[in-house]
Amino acid sequence: MKKRYIILILIAILIVSGMGWCGYTYKKLVKDPITTSDTTIKVYIVPGMNKDSLCSILSQQIAPDKAHKIADIMYNDEYDPSTRKGYFELNGSTSIYRAARRLANGSQTPVQFTFNNLRLTEQFIARVDECLYMSGDSLSALLGNDEFCASYGFNTATIKAMFLPDTYEFYWTVSPQRFVERMHQYYKQYWDEERCNKATKAGLTPLEVSILASIVEEETAMRDEMPTVAGLYINRLRRGIPLQADPTIKYAVGDFSLRRILNKHLETPSPYNTYLNTGLPPAPIRIPSKAAIEAVLNYRTHNYLYMCAKEDFSGYHNFATTLSEHNRNAARYHSALNRRGIR
């Protein structure tokens, strides 16, 4: 009897000690920060990631023992790695326990998605594929689908006008459909009543503004010159004169590296050839920047009908109201090209 009593006391002591140890361990997990600084810990989790892989990623940024504790809590708490994915940012002062719970619960941190200076839809898709979890192929399939693009008021050629270069916030795991939907929301917000009224006053639709802006941006990199270039093309559109924009020839030929447009290039059969066709081409020749769009909406009023790159290769242009004046400007520029051996 006495022996049994002693055994029960020992068991009770072990239980209490165990509870004390567990309590102590729990308190450490709840209170101990994952690092000793305010460093931001960045974690990308993909479906099927096992504990070792997660530990490896965490150990590159925090102490391995703490990385293992985080993984242990996650994987011992009915965490299903086959379905979890996301991007997470953890502050270094976050406790081990809270870090584990945050990753396990899937409370993602939005990522910054920035794009600019892109010509082709394919380049835009590659940028998305680089920044977000979605497959570029899945987004390409959507943007190459006529019915899908039509649901947003575009076609597969004009859809790039819907993507306005800027910085946006998305969850890393956003689906292709949701991504396009959000971009369309941003597009509608940008094209408010004031901008739509300016487009109408210029005799253009929002899409036509984007098409013209894409030409203006390819024509000049000088922002202070863009409104003048835009005004020149609007003068031509209103008079029914072909735009004769060299960047559209480069697009039609498929070579933006051309430094000199020759007569053979001007004969390229294409709806984008603005020497052979009047009016605007059927779609933007690049994804125009907001600066170029604003330049078209706020175009400069003047009588210019002609433009030619300056012979000093400054990036600016000489403008003219008459063909004879333009021919003189062009002769000076061509002489400068010849002196530099540009063929």
Name which of 39-43, 174-178, 224-228 the model is least confident about: 39-43
Section 260-268 average pLDDT? 90
Distance from the first to the final alpha carbon of the chain? 110
Section 223-252 average pLDDT? 96
Provide, rounded to the nearest whole percent, the portion of the chain with pLDDT above 90.
64
What local confidence, expressed as pLDDT, does residue 36 receive? 72
Section 197-226 average pLDDT? 97
Query: What residues form DSSP beta bridges with 298?
Result: none
Task: Please count the CA atoms within 13 angstroms of the CA of 5 that sit on its side-chain side.
Answer: 2
Section 308-331 average pLDDT? 92
pLDDT band for position 152 (50/70/90)?
A: very high
pTM: 0.85
Name which of 67-81, 151-165, 271-285, 306-320 the model is least confident about: 67-81
Section 293-301 average pLDDT? 98
pLDDT band for position 48 (50/70/90)?
A: confident
Provide, rounded to the nearest whole percent, the portion of the chain with pLDDT above 70.
90
Name which of 37-41, 206-210, 269-273 the model is least confident about: 37-41
Name which of 86-95, 145-154, 230-239 the model is least confident about: 86-95
Look up residue 270 and give its two tokens: 């294409």
Section 85-109 average pLDDT? 88
- Radius of gyration of the chain, Cα coordinates, nearest whole angstrom: 31
pLDDT band for position 257 (50/70/90)?
A: confident
**CA distance readout (Å), 27 to 13, 23, 76, 79:** 21, 6, 18, 22
Task: Please count the CA atoms within 13 angstroms of the CA of 132 that sit on its side-chain side.
Answer: 29
Give the Cα separation of 179 and 136 in Å (integer): 12
What local confidence, expressed as pLDDT, does residue 24 receive? 38
Instruction: State the pairing for strand pair 40-45/86-91.
Output: antiparallel
Section 237-246 average pLDDT? 96
What local confidence, expressed as pLDDT, does residue 31 receive? 55
What local confidence, expressed as pLDDT, does residue 234 receive? 98
